[in-house]
Amino acid sequence: MATDLTGRHFLQEADVTADEFRHLVDLAGRLKADRAAGREEPLLCGRTVALVFEKASTRTRCAFEVAAAHQGAATTCLDPAGSHMGRKESVRDTARVLGRMFDAVEFRGADQSVVEELAEHAGVPVYNGLTDDWHPTQMLADVLTMTEHSARPLASVAHAYLGDARNNMGNSTLVTGALLGMDVRIVAPRSLWPREAVVARARDLAATTGARITLTEDVAEGVRGADFVSTDVWVSLGEPADAWAERIALLRPYAVTEEVLRATGNDRVRFLHCLPAFHDLGSAVAREVHEQYGLEYLEVSDEVFESERSVVFDQAENRMHTIKALLVATLAGRPC
Which residues contact ligand CP by CB under 6 A?
Answer: 57-60, 130, 138, 274-275
* 173 binds ligand NVA, rule: CB under 6 A: no
Most distant CA pair in the chain: distance in Å?
A: 58
- 150: which residues sit within 8 A by CB, 6+ positions away? 157, 227, 228, 270
Indicate which residue of 121, 135, 201, 309 is catalytic: 135
Active site includes 319?
yes
Indicate which residue of 70, 166, 185, 319 is catalytic: 319
Active site includes 79?
no
Say whether 272 sits in a helix, a strand or coil. strand
* E strand or H helix at 175: helix 168-179
Active site includes 71?
no
The one segment of 71-79, 142-150, 162-170, 306-314 that binds ligand NVA by CB under 6 A? 162-170
| 169, interface contact from ligand NVA, ligand CP, none, CB < 5-8 Å by kind | ligand NVA
Report d(CA 31, CA 27) in Å as an integer. 6
Whole-angstrom CA distances from 309 to 109, 274, 280 are 32, 15, 17
* 54 binds ligand NVA, rule: CB under 6 A: no
* 114 binds ligand NVA, rule: CB under 6 A: no
Active site includes 190?
no
Which is nearer to ligand NVA, 23 or 319 (by Cβ)?
A: 319
CA angle 158, 164, 165 (to 5 degrees): 55
Q: Mask of contacts with ligand NVA, 207-236, x by CB under 6 A? A: -------------------------xx--x
* Residue 283 near residue 276 (C-beta atoms within 8 A): yes
Active site residue ranges: 108, 135, 138, 232, 274, 319
